[in-house]
Amino acid sequence: MKNITTFLYIHDVVLERKVLECLNRFKPIKVLCNANEKYAFLENIRLHQPEFLMIDLSGSHYETSLELLEMIQKPTLLIAISDKERVETLLEKGFYDVINKNFTNDLLIKKIYKMIRLVTALMQLPQPIPAEEPASEYTSKKKSNEFSHNFLFVKYKKLSEKVKLEEILFMRNNKNIIEIMTTSGKLFYHHSTLKKFYEKLPVDRFVKINNAVIVNYHKIDKIKNLEITIQGEVFNVTRVYAQALKKLLRL
């Protein structure tokens, strides 16, 4: 398994030791920086891009540490250690998880294990190619073979129909049949699993938001917490895919 890198920004020595004790139980985790001073932290995080950051937002450190986050490029996952009354506020600010400063080792170990699974899943997601960046020979060949005219053929029973990619709003799994909703309101069906179908879709247009739904992220109208809206239809976004979606939309 590839190393999962992390930064720590924790002021309290006892709290820092407790967190490190739990992190060190996991071989994949590599702590790149363990800082409690602002400028040392900023200098180090600009040189690296850790997968997650654990930051102390408890007590008097709350405001200064939040200000610090505005000065950096945020990692994939932000995990706060804070006071119980601030949990909801920090989750709304985009933190993946908020851990009560009075946590037990068992609780933190469970949360770290869950975080490892999430980061591993995010590493396996396809990454979009920016419009200004030329695609590789392999990518160009793959896209030209399967989507040379920006459409795909879907097959249900004995009927194959052409669907323009730009007209697709979302795709929903129904056992081994995929339901494809278009801007015109017409519903298409395709015999396949969602996983296999997703692997063939262009990453500059479609993204998976949970285990049952793929959406055309250019068609998203609203985002609120872990919900998105496309033409009045509301979908839940699981935390596994929420971070990837935010990156695509530059949120």
Name the helix (H) or strand (E) containing 97.
Answer: strand 97-100
End-to-end alpha-carbon separation of the chain, Å? Answer: 29
Q: In whole angstroms, give the CA distance from residue 189 to residue 181.
A: 9
Q: Confidence class of residue 149 from pLDDT cuts 50, 70 and 90?
A: low
Whether pTM > 0.75 for this model: the answer is: no
Q: pLDDT tens digit string along 91-140?
A: 877 788 889 889 999 999 988 888 887 777 666 555 444 434 344 333 33
Location of each CATH 2.40.50.1020 domain in the chain: 141-249
User: What per-residue confidence (pLDDT) applies to 169?
Assistant: 94
Q: Which CATH class is domain 4-123?
A: alpha beta
Higher pLDDT, residue 98 or 47:
98
Location of each CATH 3.40.50.2300 domain in the chain: 4-123
Contact yes or no for 72/42 (Cβ under 8 A): yes
- The secondary structure of residue 134, as a DSSP letter, is P
Q: Mean of the pLDDT values across residues 224-228?
A: 86
User: What per-residue confidence (pLDDT) applies to 123?
Assistant: 64
CATH number of 141-249: 2.40.50.1020
Q: Confidence class of residue 22 from pLDDT cuts 50, 70 and 90?
A: very high
